[in-house]
Every structure is written in C-alpha cells, then in structure tokens.
Structure 1
Amino acid sequence: MAVKVGIPSALLYYTYYPLWRAFFNEIGVQVVTSGRTTKNILDKGVREALADACVPIKLFFGHVMEIKDQVDYLYIPRVVCLNGKTIYCPKFLGLPDMIRHSLSNIPPVIDVRMDTRQGRFSLIKAYQELGARFGASKNSTLLAYCKARLVLIRYMSLLRKGLTPAEALSLLDKPGQSKIAAPPKTNLRFAVVGYPYAIYDSFISVNLLGKLRKLGVSVLTADNINPFLLTLQNNCHLPKRLFWTFSDIALKAAHFVFRHGRVDGVLHLTAFGCGPDSLVNKLIELESKKHREIPFMTLMIDEHTGEAGMATRLEAFVDMVRRRKEARLCKS
C-alpha cells in the first residue's frame, strides 16, 4: 500500500499543488487533499488557530484538521524564498511549527526548507531530501522533479490564458483535452488583485469571481498576466521592491492594470488582519488616485464575511461602472 501524504487545500496549494502532486506521484507516493473549503472546515480552523491570525491561516488549520486522520504524513514545506529576492509571509515560514505545536494527534509534518538564496541548486537539494525521506534514489528524484517542473509550467501557461486554478487542474487531469472553452462575451472587464489563496478560494472570497461573471464582467488576475510584464513595473516608484513575495506581485499587478490592463475597474481583495496587506492596500489606493478614470474598490474578507453584503457591494460597483462607461460612450 502506497504511503499517503496530505496536502491541505489552502495557501500555496493554489500556486504549487500541480508540482507537488506530480513529484510525489512520480516517486510512488499517494497524494490526498482536503478538498474544497466548507463552513465546517473554516469553523475548525477558527477554533484551533491563533486568534490574531488572518483568515487564510485559520483556514489552513481547518484544512489540516480535515485531512490529518486520512494520511501518513502532512506536507507543509517551509517555503522561504523561490525567486532569490523576496520572501514569503513570516506566518508561512512558521506554519509547520504552528501546526506541529498547536494541533494534537497529527501525523509527522514534512517541513523541508526551500530557499533559493542558499544557492543555484538549493531547490534540487530540497527535493532530493524529500525524495530520500521516501526511499527514492537520487536519479529517480531528479527525474521526478524535472517532470513536475514541466507540469507546473503547463499549469502556469493555462492560468495565463485566463483559467482559474480549478479549471487549469481539470485540464491537467485530462491530458487528451487541450481545447479551452471560449469565455462568454461581456461588456466589462475588471482586474482583481490580491493573494491567490484568497481570490481563488470560492468560500472565503464568497465566490467573488463567479459573482462577477454572473454580472457580465470578465476578470483579470495577476496569474493571467505574463510575469515578464510585471517585472517591467520595477519597484513601482518605491525606493526598493516590497519584501514579501505575494505582496510584491499584487502591487506590480495593480500598477500594470492601471496603466496597461485596459480594464474598466479594479478590485483589491484583502484579508482582515493581514499585516503586509495593510501596506499594499494603501499603496494600491495611492496609485488608483493617479488613474481616476478607472474606478477602484477594496473588498475586505474575514471569517464573518457574509454573502449578501459582498453581493450588494459588487452589484452596486458593477452598476456604477457600467453606467459610467455607457455615459462616456454616449458622449463620444
């Protein structure tokens, strides 16, 4: 019987799960996920996590609780830096320790450290360490890592075509299906900036992307933008780039869409209690004031966010943008 490794469906899941799944499968390890977020999962996380943690961290606790009795190991890598320049949120770095010391009766936590500032081959060494834990040889581990990287590249290319992570994963699971359904025609286009683990979790975001599509709005996120175009934003007029990886990407995406995104509106989805986001939101707001022709709104979420309130704000914002665009077209 294959060893089972659990990957909670939260935080870095939305960015690196295809790579992790492909790697583990190649070395003969079965991957089990905690599935989509539900109210029960969130409630478990709220009960177990630190009171001052942001809702994505609380949600991660809930996903661990959901999966801990089904697997032999929990995979919670200590992802520090993957681009050699910025680091992930400090709570990401301490996540394995928080889980290990806050929850009882959990399986062993695999917390291999990933930090590309330690050298060119630091990632390969990290995966070699991971493979050795499950008895895989160096050659088979290296081959598994290379194959997993190719899967990640395909996944990222699907995201840049406008798919959500769930849609991209569905295509990855069907190798023979390469055709992407054409999106429905819309007359508005919004950029939604923020962290992927908040935007793409349909429960804590109160199905933000789905609601926008139902309102006739096409959506552009940072994952849909070519990374090279984001690097052209340099440091967004700051003395140096932002210290945190996801915050740096969100700010650069906001600057790009305000200047070149050809969007009708910009939404920033932020989580209450997120320290880095308190800075990022202000910086995005300051940039929005330089582009008053593009309406901007901040949406804040926490474990108490209600669907009715979110729907009302979105409907009002979409209606305002649509009326404004129609009035501008009539004048021209």
Structure 2
Amino acid sequence: MARIGIPSALLYYIYYPFWLTFFNEIGVQVVTSGRTTKNILDKGVREALADACVPIKLFFGHVMDLKDKADYLFIPRVVCLNGKTIYCPKFLGLPDMIRHSLDDIPPIIDVRIDTRQGRLSLIKAYLEIGSYFGASRNTVLRAYCLARAALRRYNLLLMKGFSPIEAMELIKNPDNKKLVLPPKANLRFAVLGYPYAIYDSFISVNILDKLKKMGVNVLTAENINPLLLSLQKNCGLPKRLFWTFSDKALKAAHYLFRHDRVDAVLHLTAFGCGPDSLLNKFIELEAKQHRDIPFMTLMIDEHTGEAGMATRLEAFVDMVRRRKEAFACQN
C-alpha cells in the first residue's frame, strides 16, 4: 500500500479529515508528522527562507520530519476554494519552495485546486490525485463524497465549540468521554487569527489551554456558523479582503464586536506575515469603535517564550475580570 505524507501544519487544521477519508477510501495509507516539537521547528528555521513567517518555517520542519516516512508528499497548490478569495501567495508557492529547498524528498503531489475555474474543478482535481495511485473514476467519486461527509461532521463539531484536534479525535473515537466542552465560565474571550497559528499549541505557546485554565471560555472564528460570518459582507471596506483566512478573521471580528458576545478579543498574529499585518490594523480600527470590549494583539515568532506570553495573558485576563466585576457593581 502506498504511503502519502501530510504535514501537520497550515491547511491540515482545516482539511485533514477530508484528506484522510479520501486517501483511505482509494486505498492509500496516510502518514502525518504529528504534533509540533522544538526539533521540528528548528529544522524548519534552518531550511526555510529567513524572511518567511513562522507557520511557513514550521511547514518546512514538518516536511523534513515526514520525508523518510512516506512514498509521496501531499502539498496541493490550493488557490481558491470559495470562488471568491485566494489563499496566501506562499501557499501557492509551497510545492516549489519545498521541491527546490530540500534534498532527498519523495515525489510531491501538487495538484492545483481553484474553484474559480468552474463548478467541477474540485472533483477534477481529486480525479487527478486519484490517478497517481491508479484509482478508478468510480472509486475516486465515492471517496470524494465520503470525504465531503467527513468534513461536514468535522465542521459541525467545530461549531459546537471543539478545537480541531478535539474534533479530529471525536471523529476517530466518538465514544471518547474525556472530550467534553468545558463548563461555562464567567469570562468569554474571542481568539482570532489564522487557524494554523492558533491551533498549533507549540507556536501559539498553548494560548487556548492557558486561557481555559484561567477560567476563560474561548471562541474562535471556526466556532462561528459561516452563515453568520457571510452576513458581514465586506466589513465596511470597498471590497472584501483578498485573502481567505484574513477575510474570515475580519468578518469574525466585526460579528463579535457588533453583537457583544464576548468580554474581550485577542488577535494572534505571526511576525513577518504581510496579510496578517493588514488584518491586525483593520481589527484594531474596529476595536476602537467598541471600546467597551477590550482588545489585545499578541505577536508570535520562532523565539516566542512561554513565560512572557503567560504573563501578558494573566495580566489581560485579570484586567478584564476586574473591569467586568466593577461594571457589575455599578449596575
């Protein structure tokens, strides 16, 4: 059985349940690089371009960890999946960056996926992927339908409040009693940003778990129904943001600020990310229109220390809690 390697970074947190189901159904074994470690990050920092953002450097490290464990690497050239916005240009160039930067890597499956090319473009892309492994048309179409169903189940779990790692575990083991939503706390924070930064507990310095241990319920853009986000339209801009994850995060910020569903908003941003710097400014401008909801930006890179992040979070949570208690006393 052929083995295909999927790095546990970037789009992994959004589409892995789809990819896992698809490849299993066409008879291909999926191998992942697992959770991020310091060793994986260090490898990526050594191999990637110096001016790349930390998520891209991390992707290089995950590829290095996988290259001797798989017969193929799956690094699709994902351009557009909603017919409107595109992914970061570095995503588009990832297959070429990996191919020309790393030695002794297995063949890369870098099929281009762009739904702006027509309604059947997604199916055509996966038929092309299936052809690498000799899968018949009917087998690929069946696998594609089952993968779409798996992705729907996954997204429903995210909207219930589970994180991607928790949702993946629940799909694999629905009877896992350890995975339950935390009890409602007296504080509720939104953590906005790109999913591959927020949900990677190593580069985010475990921000979600830290907040939960401080008695804070956490809400992310992935926990919000996409229909509610679509109602935000262009967020007061002449046109919607060009990049998919930036557009989603900005719409989540507008929705949360304007519907007062949280006690505070945090934006986790990666140093060196061009789209993220623009996104942060737009979220900051919206925050200034809603001064009753505290806002803070947290920047991460490969040097981010856990102690410094914990100190900032503790101070911010304490400030928001005292502010809420003072406001309650006045009323």
Distance 2:178 2:202 in 1: 28
2:298 alignment partner in structure 1: 299
The residue matched to 2:236 in structure 1 has which SS? Answer: coil
Provide the secondary structure at the position in 1 that maps to 2:67: helix
In 2, the alpha carbon distance for the partners of 1:199 and 1:176 equals 26
- State the distance in 2 between where 1:178 and 1:303 align: 35
TM-score by length of 2: 0.99
Give the equivalent residue in structure 2 for 1:216.
215
What is the CA–CA distance in structure 1 between the aligned matches of 2:260 and 2:155, rounded to whole Å? 19
Structure 1 regions of 5+ residues with no counterpart? none
Q: What is the correspondence of 1:135-214 to structure 2 with a 5 Å cutoff?
A: 135-175=134-174, 181-214=180-213
Question: For residue 40 of structure 1, what is the aligned residue in structure 2?
Answer: 39
Count of equivalent residues: 331
Would the aligned equivalents of 1:87 and 1:244 in 2 still touch at CA under 8 Å? yes
Match status 1:77 vs 2:76: yes
> Could you tell me how far apart the structure 2 residues matched to 1:91 and 1:185 are?
39
Which amino acid is 1:102 matched to?
Answer: S
How far residue 177 of structure 1 moved from its aligned partner, in angstroms, is 5.6
Tell me which residue corresponds to 1:256: 255
Secondary structure of 1:70's counterpart equals coil
The structure-2 alpha-carbon separation of the partners of 1:182 and 1:242, relative to structure 1 and needing over 3 Å to count, comes to closer
Aligned residues of 2:162 and 2:181 also touching (Cα < 8 A):
no
**Secondary structure, counterpart of 1:69 in structure 2:** coil
Q: Percent identity, please.
A: 78
More off after superposition, 169-178 vs 22-31: 169-178
**Structure 1 CA distance, aligned partners of 2:64 and 2:58?**
10
Distance 1:203 1:179 in 2: 22
C-alpha separation in 1, matches of 2:71 and 2:260: 45
Which residues of 2 match residues 1-332 of structure 1 at below 5 A? 2-175=1-174, 181-332=180-331
Shift of 1:185: 3.2
Deviation, 1:220, is 0.4
For 2:322 and 2:120, the matched residues in 1 are separated by 54
For 1:91 and 1:22, the matched residues in 2 are separated by 26
List per-residue Cα deviations over 1:76-126 (Å, max 9, x = no partner).
000000000000000000000000000000000000110000000000000
**Amino acid aligned to 2:60:** F
Report deviation, 1:132: 1.1
Contact 1:171 1:178 in 2 (8 A): no
Distance 1:79 1:205 in 2: 24
| Whole-angstrom CA distance in 2 between matches of 1:206 and 1:175 | 28
SS in structure 2 at match of 1:322: helix
Residues 186 and 111 of structure 1: is their aligned pair in 2 closer, same or farther, counting only changes over 3 Å?
A: same
- Name the amino acid aligned to 1:271: A
CA–CA separation in structure 2 for the residues paired with 1:283 and 1:244: 14
Q: Secondary structure at the match of 2:233?
A: coil
Runs of 4+, deviation exceeding 6 Å: none
For structure 2, list consecutive stretches of 5 or more residues without a partner in the other structure.
none
- Please say if residues 48 and 103 of structure 1, whose CA atoms lie closer than 8 Å, have aligned partners that are also in contact: yes
Question: SS at the partner of 2:20?
Answer: helix
Q: SS of 2:266's equivalent?
A: strand
Q: Give the conservation status (yes or no) of the 8 Å contact 2:4–2:29.
A: yes
Partner amino acid, structure 2, of 1:187: N
Maintained 8 Å contact 2:161/2:181: no
Instruction: Find the aligned partners of 2:79 and 2:283 in 1 and give their Cα distance.
Output: 25
Which residue identity does 2:241 align to in structure 1?
L
Distance 1:176 1:287 in 2: 42
- Structure 1 residue 261, shift from structure 2 partner: 4.6
